[in-house]
Amino acid sequence: MKKLLIFVLFVCFLSLNANAKEQAIFHGNRNLNHIYLTFDDGYSAKNTEMILDTLLQKDVKATFFIEGEFLTQNPILVNRIANEQTLANHTFKHKDITKMSNQQLIDDIKIFEEEAFKITGKQLTKYFRPPMGKINDTKLNILSQMGYKVFIWDVSYYDYVYYDDQGIDYVLNSIRKQTHNGSIILMHTLTKSNALALGQIIDMLRDLGYVFSDLSELV
């Protein structure tokens, strides 16, 4: 399954033409030691509070791309994310947007925005991450017209199946090996190891000379 996901992401990347690659942000400036921590959040909120506590303790800003079910079922946590970190759009239905019609995507994005505003009372920061990283030129252009910046990633690992947790050492080694100047790190909130390892991850990357920055720096 790990190899299949890597292959799918590679094919999706190749399917983007030069214009699309310029619109979607995969990483920051390779000449700067700034890195960017992001979480995809959905399906379960059991680790999110611990992750937020660690970010607060370590004084690190992160962006949480969440989907609609998490948004509507966890208003207390959503408000906390909006107040402490950056709350961003991961679609309402968490479907492959390349298979949606243009209008379906527009409707989905607007529903997410409306529900987020109902819960937080704040206008949503218009950052977007497509589910599974799947996107094409047409959908990129629609999102751009709606005012969104699309963020992908250049650091990821197998952490998106809660019942197949690979352990803390796997998490630490995966992030250490892949992280470079400008990296956008993708983590999921689904595994316990991610939540338990987060403080160590932050300390490790700081010891390596990296500075945690906010995605707003790349806009």
Cβ atoms within 10 Å of 129's Cβ, excluding its own:
26
**Are 29 and 2 in contact, with CB atoms under 8 Å apart?**
no
Task: From the candidates 27, 90, 94, 188, give the one annotated as an active-site residue.
Answer: 188
Active-site residue, 94 included: no
Active-site residue, from 40, 108, 154, 159: 40
Residue from 168, 147, 166 nearest 219 by CA: 147
Q: Catalytic site residue 40?
A: yes
Contacts of 147 (CB under 8 A, 6+ apart): 126
* Rounded-to-integer distance, Cα 210 and Cα 190, Å: 25
Q: How far is CA 92 from the centre of its chain?
A: 14
Residues designated as active site: 40, 188
